[in-house]
Structure 1
């Protein structure tokens, strides 16, 4: 008799078309080749068997022939009248009345999910259509994905220090989600998501892990989206691609000049020499010492040094006179 289609779909011979549809949907989602990266060839064979079984058993005419003559009857090789009954060939041309591979497994898959969707979601608002991504981990066919609803994205903040956004870093985030096993069971599974924070990323940058949310029947898993957030820094403030720092100066240093050091975010010491008089509102700009520019590798913004001149709280009369004489010269 060849393959046992009832056994392949795991249904009994009294099952209804609705039973066939439910069984096929469950097994097809388990054995879709896109969900089996390591044993894709085995999955393809299993997926085709499941689709073939559903194609035959869900069609009353094909099912009747299969029940009486088996797989050979569907191929047009049923016994002759003298052996059992009339042949199921189309005539002298030798064409099968019910050719075995009239539709591909993917076509059967898309049609079956269209039926399920119509039954389950007709009263609900029209689902959002989207372009399915060919991700082996989820294994959703393009046609079916366009008909299924997608769960809303799961959004989380990823707080980063200014040093991380300056130098880059690797963040590993452990999550737990429900997945459907090859046996159709929903189980909790731990996953490790790795985010390579690139130098120069800004607050608001989003990193998306497609379809890493919980797996559910008739639902495309949600994307997990992390949004970069920036922790305040004790010394530097980021303004676009520039870094701004406030430096305190005594009045003597502001007028007479000075040298000081700044520790950079990548732990270098910058030596800053002040030769000019620092007046109110004065800002010193040092090129290419700001934040890395993510879209321009090798380029950086500016370091902007703002000064707060600290005036003495008291002066002796002699000091006042001396300063006045110097400034009036």
Structure 2
């Protein structure tokens, strides 16, 4: 009769992956040859390592559950007529141990072995004095470049990422693509950070990094954002600057508003249109539209035009 890996780890066949890990954690620490010098401890340590190596890998565990140790190690024919090579334990139980706990020799930190064990006889999932505690990689930051129209009206962005994911063996990785959906809220400011927790590269004994998208404004042909306000710099002729008129301003949501010019426009003059700026995030209302006129002077004047202007301005201080 072949080995019963469940009995070796002291668990039942319906044990979860967590139960398998807990059992291995407890027994590998108990029988490790560096700490346990009792006769037969090293053999027990090898048995525990092989049992965990089989039960921690889903395909090997399924084969063992159906066909036992003999079927697992002998290999099996497939429906396609191929032959799946049988399982052979590599025999390096110390490698199983270090792969599980992390580091080249994590057991070297157990100078006070009894103090590390908890009430149930095994180390908590925090690891050996913290050495096996998985660490999270730093956040991966990427720019999310948005047009002012997308921020003004709200939009949905689909961002494709490539990342490494763990294979079924829990050790090797492969690269796969994933689409992350970002719902852009109206009025998001430059610098807004959108975080997708743990969507970075996966790997053994580590926590994937968060992926963070940071809002950046794309350059616009007409407008520039200034906080919650929009700055618009139209050209107006000298005539309009002196005697008035109006200009038409297109908006980011497709409207056209008429801005009257009722005062003399001097260089640097600004006119505020209340409520026509960027939406306020999470609030009602909007910023303002700031119109900063650029006065276009004529390139030349004939003598008659100069005389007329002189007469018109004779009483102007």
TM-score, scaled relative to structure 2: 0.62
- Cα deviations across residues 135-157 of structure 1 (Å, max 9, x unaligned)? xxxxxx98469922222222222
Q: 1:306 aligns with which of 278, 283, 292?
A: 292
Alignment correspondent of 2:279: 292
Structure 1 residue aligned with 2:243? 256
Distance 1:43 1:256 in 2: 89
Q: Residue 290 of structure 1: CA displacement?
A: 1.0
2: CA distance between counterparts of 1:43 and 1:275? 83
Distance 1:210 1:155 in 2: 12
* 2:181 pairs with 1:194: yes
Q: 2:159 aligns with which of 160, 164, 173?
A: 173
Change (3 A) 1:122 1:207: farther
* d(CA) in 2 for partners of 1:324, 1:44: 99
Q: CA deviation at 1:232?
A: 0.8
Residue 150 of structure 2: which of 135, 145, 164 is its match?
164
Taking a change above 3 Å as real, the CA distance of residues 46 and 248 of structure 1, as seen in their structure-2 partners, is closer
Q: Which residue of 2 aligns with 1:116?
A: 101
Say if 1:46 and 1:216 are closer, same or farther in 2 by CA, change over 3 A.
closer
Distance in 2 between residues matched to 1:54 and 1:252, nearest whole Å: 86
- Structure 1's 183 and 320: CA in aligned 2 closer, same or farther, altered over 3 A? same
The residue number in structure 2 matching 1:47 is: 18
- Determine which of 198, 214, 217 is the counterpart of 1:211: 198
Judge conservation of contact 1:8–1:53 (CA < 8 Å) in 2.
no
Cα deviation 1:74-115 (Å, max 9, x = unaligned): xxxxxxxxxxxxxxxxxxxxxxxxxxxxxxxxxxxxxx99x9
Residues 162, 231 of structure 1: 8 Å contact kept: yes
SS at match of 2:195: strand
Query: Could you report, residue by residue, the CA deviation over 1:166-201 in whole angstroms, capped at 9, with x for unpaired residues?
Result: 222111112222222444253333221111122222
Report the alpha carbon displacement of residue 158 of structure 1 after superposing the two structures with TM.
1.7
Deviation by residue 1:199-219 (Cα, 9 ceiling, x = unmatched): 222222222212111111122
Report the Cα distance in structure 1 between the residues aligned to 2:232 and 2:291, rounded to whole angstroms: 5
Structure 1 240/299 Cα, relative in aligned 2: closer, same or farther at 3 Å? same
**Please, which runs of 5 or more residues in structure 1 have no aligned partner?**
10-19, 21-41, 68-111, 124-140
Q: CA deviation at 1:122?
A: 9.3
Q: Write the deviation string for residues 262-300 of structure 1: whole angstroms up to 9, x where unpaired.
A: 111111111111122212221101111111222x42221
Superposition RMSD in Å: 3.7
Change (3 A) 1:254 1:53: closer
Name segments (4+ residues, structure 1) moved above 6 Å.
none
Query: Which sits farther off after the overlay, 52-61 or 152-161?
Result: 52-61
Whether the aligned pair in 2 keeps the contact of 1:8 and 1:50 (CA below 8 Å) is no
- The alpha-carbon distance between structure 1 residues 310 and 44, as it changes in their structure 2 partners (threshold 3 A), is farther
Change (3 A) 1:56 1:318: closer
Q: Distance in 1 between matches of 2:125 and 2:289?
A: 50
TM-score by length of 1: 0.60
Q: CA deviation at 1:118?
A: 7.0
Question: What does 1:19-38 align with in structure 2 at a 5 Å threshold?
Answer: none
- Say if 1:43 and 1:237 are closer, same or farther in 2 by CA, change over 3 A: farther
1:265 aligned residue: 252
Q: Select the residue among 269, 277, 282 that pairs with 1:282.
A: 269
